[in-house]
Chains A and B, each alone.
Chain A
Amino acid sequence: MAASFLIFKGGKMASPRVATVMKQGKWTPWFYVLPALIIMTVFIVYPMINTVGLSFLNKDSSASAATTCVEGEACWGALENYRYALTNEINTSTPLTAWNTFWTSSYGNTIKWMVFMVAGTVIIGLVFAVLADKVKYEPLAKSIIFMPMAISFVGAGVIWKFMYNYGTSQVQIGVINAVITALGGKAIPFLSQPILNTFMLIIVGVWMWTGFCMTILSSAIKSIPEEVIEASRIDGATEWQVFMQIMVPIIAPTIVVVITTMVINTLKLFDIVYVMTGGNFGTDVIATRMYREMYSSYNTGRGTAIAVILIILIIPFIYMNIKRFIQQEAIR
């Protein structure tokens, strides 16, 4: 992929440090990696190259995207689908409208998801993994946090219907609005009120994915040697200091892994938005928009262009991971 190639060429990183401590035969590494490489090439790399090609073509891939340009309007030639994908949602008449429309576009929403969902899942997951580590009912407690992951999206959609439902009469079948009206307030249409609705959806995302972060972070915490922790306790460190100064630095590499994974998951996030609002009321994210262009508007060119943009967005995190990869090998 071009993206990783750029990083590979661009940085000081191109000097691989020999990581091995044991003698290895000339072909040994390839016995280990080749099966994986072959399968990934067939199933992801080859289809991807296909996709990138389609993104320069028109809706049914029968001619260049340049033929879809409308006379008298902006046109990027063969990159026309990219122009559409990047600018269509944004009203550029003034800088202010551009700014406002950006934050309700699929890109703005994806950024909101990235910031709040990744922060929410990683922080709650980490705190809970540490807390649960201290109690006897740890397996049960962890299972409860993990449970939403096991519920299929169809089930989750129904679950949150009973949380967010907006009743128009006195009868509320959604828990939150029932509480609000019981306290004398006015019911809130959580899913159709722009801005608020994206955050209500992010809550669903945090609820579902915290179990994932917790599980991985918990297995990292379990690998911290207890001598290290006990030693600092004997030195008089408080539990907070133990957490911040001992645990977090030791499991920092795993935290990077979890953050990267969650960023990828949020970039690809589709089901929650699709099931609960269908991308209406300004809740669109990149993946739901891609799906709609592909299968509701039957515009393969635009759909694939959005997919390519999605992949390009991951580059900063590729860079972050390579850096950490090299660091880890330097210190172990």
Chain B
Amino acid sequence: MFKKSKFWAILSVVLVASMLLAACATPAPTAAPQPQPQPAPSDISCEGVTAGDQISMLYQWSGQEEERLNAILKPFVDACGVAIVPEASRDQALLDTKVQAGTPPDVVFWGSTQLKQYAEKLVAMDALGVDAANYADYWKAMGTIDGKLLGLPVKADIKSIVWYSPKAFTEAGYTVPTTWEELDALVEKMVADGKVPWSMGMESGDATGWTGTDFIEDIILVKQGPEYVDAVIAGTTPYNDPGVQEAYEIYGKWAKDEKYTIGGAAGTVSTNFNDAINKVFSTPPEAMMVKQSGFAAGQITTTYPTLVYGEDFDFFQVPGVKGLQGGADWGMAFSDKPAVKALFAYLASNKGGEEWAKVGFDLTPNKAGTTTYEDASLAKKAEMLAATTGFVADIGDAIPGFGVTEFRGVTDWVNGGDLAQILSTIAAAQAEGTK
């Protein structure tokens, strides 16, 4: 009925063989160490680094993003002969588990929330010997907790921009608005012409709603200005303040009505944010404008590879916005070994900023990069960033544990919830996060 001896023999062979194989499998770092460091160019410092030193890294970037990061780090890796042992994941559980268990990676690239979250465990930039002269004061202020700069902003994106098709605007006789009133009038004109002004899809899995909170924060910047937003972040202005409420009402007027946005409330909450970008550039377009961060350009050219920047798609700053809303991913260190010091020195250096801009991984907050972008749309965004006076963070990123409540709040609001109740729930999370 059953050949027992044979079965056991096969079983043990398979088990032992796979275990042996596993024992032999050597770790394969993606960026293989160079055996001999090449003669270091004078602008990359490898002080104290021994060729073959490893840096373990954890970041949220993957796919094309990871490819770009590798390109940016390549000069450093080649010059110093370090080996990068990367790990990419957006699962917050992974980072939190590693930090809590006392086995964090040497370097983490993550959101600004983590600066506060892990303030006690991070190595300050001073201790790494980083010269932060290339960074604007508002960046340094954002990364400073209890008087210490705990991270380096590496990849920035601006959010206060609206994408549109110049071709479609010209055909319909529209001009780019320069004040909020003009924008409001343009929106009404589009509706009168039988066109849908906005594409507002906000579906994004567990983070559904973030395009909504971005939009609302921009409205707050128009109506109230950057100091107001900073006060909300600090917790001195409660989230259910009339200024915030007004922004929700303006947003809701558009986001819930199918005259103003594709599909009305159901369309807004059900449409994926990337699909929402596509809809403005389809033939015929389903809507005229989409307010979205800088990454939209990549989505447009992937779906519609023949479209040309400047002719078929372009963007303008949210009209009348005082200051600029944006966010950054931050480099943080849990280790102060020489290779880590050298890495941060590279990122903060002129060379590092130039490489970042050249590769074009969104924007670099490093001033040295401002003029070296090869991509025209990135260059335009970089100019906006460089010219801004009141740069503010995304409120949701700036208060630990707050973003998720804010996202759900705006989703509920569009989906028919009661505004006063929603805002007081969010305000409670704000109070807790800023305590």
Q: Is chain B found bound to chain A in the same assembly?
A: yes
A residues contacting B by CB (< 8 A) are: 166, 168-169, 189, 191-194, 274-281, 288, 291-292, 294-299
Once the chains bind, are B404 and A297 in contact (CB under 8 Å)?
yes
Q: What is the bound-complex CA distance between A191 and B201, given in angstroms?
A: 14
CB<8 Å pairs between A and B, sample of 24: A166-B266, A168-B263, A168-B267, A168-B271, A169-B279, A189-B266, A274-B206, A276-B205, A277-B205, A278-B206, A278-B207, A278-B208, A280-B408, A280-B411, A281-B411, A292-B206, A292-B404, A294-B96, A296-B92, A296-B403, A297-B401, A297-B404, A297-B429, A299-B401
For chain B, what secondary structure do more than half of its interface residues adopt (helix, strand, loop), or is it mixed?
helix
Cβ contact of A291, chosen from B93, B269, B271, cutoff 8 A: B93
Cβ contact of A280, chosen from B208, B267, B403, B429, cutoff 8 A: B208
Residues of A within 8 A of B91 (CB): 295
CB distance from A186 to the nearest CB of B (A): 10
A169-B286, A276-B205, A295-B96 given; 9 more Cβ-contact pairs under 8 Å: A192-B269, A192-B415, A275-B205, A280-B206, A291-B93, A292-B206, A297-B404, A298-B400, A298-B401
Residues of B within 8 A of A278 (CB): 204-208
Can you name the residue of chain B whose Cβ is closest to the Cβ of A157?
A: B205
Once the chains bind, are A168 and B279 in contact (CB under 8 Å)?
yes
Interface size on B, residues (CB 8 A): 30
For chain A, what secondary structure do more than half of its interface residues adopt (helix, strand, loop), or is it mixed?
loop
| B270 beta carbon closer than 8 Å to chain A | yes
Can you name the residue of chain B whose Cβ is closest to the Cβ of A171?
A: B282
B residues contacting A by CB (< 8 A) are: 91-93, 96, 117, 203-209, 262-263, 266-267, 269-271, 279, 286, 400-401, 403-405, 408, 411, 415, 429
Residues of B within 8 A of A291 (CB): 93
Residues of A within 8 A of B429 (CB): 297
Residues of A within 8 A of B408 (CB): 280
Residues of B within 8 A of A281 (CB): 269, 411, 415
Once the chains bind, are B92 and A295 in contact (CB under 8 Å)?
yes
Residues of A within 8 A of B266 (CB): 166, 189, 192-193
> Known contacts A166-B270, A189-B270, A192-B269; is A296 also within 8 Å of B286 by CB?
no
Q: What is the bound-complex CA distance between A169 and B286, given in angstroms?
A: 7
Residues of B within 8 A of A192 (CB): 203, 266, 269-270, 415
Once the chains bind, are A296 and B415 in contact (CB under 8 Å)?
no
Can you name the residue of chain B whose Cβ is closest to the Cβ of A169?
A: B286
Q: What is the bound-complex CA distance between A280 and B204, given in angstroms?
A: 10
Once the chains bind, are B269 and A296 in contact (CB under 8 Å)?
no
Can you name the residue of chain A whose Cβ is closest to the Cβ of B95?
A: A295
Residues of A within 8 A of B269 (CB): 189, 192, 280-281
Q: What is the bound-complex CA distance between A277 and B204, given in angstroms?
A: 8
Q: What is the bound-complex CA distance between A194 and B266, given in angstroms?
A: 11
Q: What is the bound-complex CA distance between A281 and B92, given in angstroms?
A: 22
Q: What is the bound-complex CA distance between A315 and B82, given in angstroms?
A: 54
Residues of B within 8 A of A194 (CB): 415
Q: What is the bound-complex CA distance between A277 and B207, given in angstroms?
A: 9
Q: What is the bound-complex CA distance between A296 and B208, given in angstroms?
A: 13
CB distance from B416 to the nearest CB of A (A): 9
Q: What is the bound-complex CA distance between A192 and B202, given in angstroms?
A: 11
Can you name the residue of chain B whose Cβ is closest to the Cβ of A91?
A: B421
Q: What is the bound-complex CA distance between A288 and B267, given in angstroms?
A: 24
Q: What is the bound-complex CA distance between A295 and B400, given in angstroms?
A: 11
Can you name the residue of chain B whose Cβ is closest to the Cβ of A273?
A: B206
Residues of A within 8 A of B267 (CB): 166, 168, 189
Cβ contact of A191, chosen from B93, B270, B279, B405, cutoff 8 A: B270
CB distance from B26 to the nearest CB of A (A): 27
